[in-house]
Structure 1
Amino acid sequence: MPGLIVVLTMFALCSIVLAGQLTGRAKVINTDTVEINRTRVRLWGIDAPDKSQMCRDINGNPYRCGLRAVRDLEGFIAEREVSCLSVLQDESGRTIATCSADGMDVGEWLVRNGLAFDQTQSSTGPYRAAQSAADRAGLGLWSGSFAVPSLYRACIRLGGRPASCSDDANAHP
């Protein structure tokens, strides 16, 4: 019986924390998710538009900001090796980590270029300074208007359509 308890305890710990590092070529799945060695990794600390999300540019014209962010991330990662540290699983079983390419934090790169947001939305969030810099410079999403990704997803869950859930021309004047 004590041996079974030890095995179950070890299994529980392994389900929470995986190997401390995951490294390899990354395939971009979505703006906040990459796949390395057949493991999907959600980038820690950011919230980013989904591929189907629309935004408005500086002239008020709609564009697929989520898809543009995915393409920009693909260009940034390109053929670089991506290394993810502090790999863990959340309560839903998703693998979450802080990842870098050539020493640059991928989450910070996304936020600094206006392609994602500091997920905490607090003044002390890990990427808050990068988000403020992108906002001040009018980069990426900050050059026009957008619906915050979490609100977009909530609208979709309630049965909204991508075009109507995305359209928030007054979200960021």
Structure 2
Amino acid sequence: MLKMRAAPRRRRGQSWSRRLWDAVLAIAILGLLLLLAARLDRSETHTLEGRVTVNDGDSLTLDGARIRLRGIDAPEFDQVCKRAGVDYPCGKLSRGALVTLIGGRAVSCEGGERDRYDRLLATCRVGDIELNRAQVEAGWAVAYGAYRSEEEAARRESAGLWSGSFDRPQDWRRTHGGMVETEHVLPGILDWLRSRLGLS
């Protein structure tokens, strides 16, 4: 005689919790897709060109647009460093180095992302000179998400800031109540989400 096996009965709790989990997951995926679409729209590449005002060693203003040189961090304008045991105005010298690089010529900046202070994060050039790279190579800015090998070369040559001792600009800002910034890494959805949620 054949015995018929009874079909397993579904527990009501599992079915309800499974449906709830599926709905939460679907909403999360939809939310991420919407955020990604907004992010792609926001990160459209912008090119600005013209005469600039140099604010400090890593930021410019061009036709009212505030620009931060991507991937580098320069001393704040009022920052002081030490060389041979003597204080010197490294922030002002960093700004002066950028002014000298530009030499009153038109600057071309290209970027697609903004930082938390609504500044365009950009790579800027004067002719064939990439300003971001040149500031790090000269030792008047440190690597901040890019240009690590240029920083190492400047350090070996004791160029600019590396000729003495200094607080990294991000550390100086922390202790002097300046703007808190995050490294300029390649755009990523997780970094963007962290900034939107106030976690960065």
**Do Structure 1 and Structure 2 share a fold, with TM-score over 0.5?**
yes
- Secondary structure at 1:28 match in 2: strand
Residue 88, structure 1, aligned to residue 113, structure 2:
yes
Aligned residues of 1:87 and 1:98 also touching (Cα < 8 A):
no
CA RMSD for the aligned pairs? 2.3
Per-residue Cα deviation, 1:91-121 (whole angstroms, up to 9, x for no partner)? 442221111111211111100000001103x
Q: Which residue identity is paired with 2:133?
A: E
Shift of 1:134: 0.6
1:27 is aligned, of 53, 69, 83, to 53
Runs of 4+ in 1 over 4 A off after TM superposition: 12-15
Gapped runs of 5+ residues in structure 1?
1-8, 121-125, 159-173
Q: Which residue identity is paired with 2:167?
A: A
Work out which structure has the larger RCO, using CA pairs closer than 8 Å and 6 or more positions apart in sequence: 1
Q: Distance in 1 between matches of 2:65 and 2:142?
A: 24
2:156 is matched with which residue? 136
Which aligned pairs between 1:12-91 and structure 2 lie closer than 5 A?
12=38, 16-17=42-43, 20-57=46-83, 59-91=84-116
- Secondary structure at 1:80 match in 2: coil
Per-residue Cα deviation, 1:138-165 (whole angstroms, up to 9, x for no partner)? 100000000111110000129xxxxxxx
Larger Rg: 2
TM-score, length-scaled by structure 1? 0.75
Q: Which residue identity is paired with 2:52?
A: A
Shift of 1:15: 7.1
Q: Which residue identity is paired with 1:112?
A: E
2:15 is matched with which residue? none
Q: Distance in 2 between matches of 1:155 and 1:13?
A: 33
CA pair 18-35 structure 1, distance change in 2 beyond 3 A: farther
TM-score, length-scaled by structure 2? 0.66
2:129 is aligned, of 71, 87, 104, to 104
Q: Distance in 2 between matches of 1:36 and 1:47?
A: 19
Count of residues in Structure 1 that have an aligned counterpart in Structure 2:
144
Shift of 1:56: 0.8
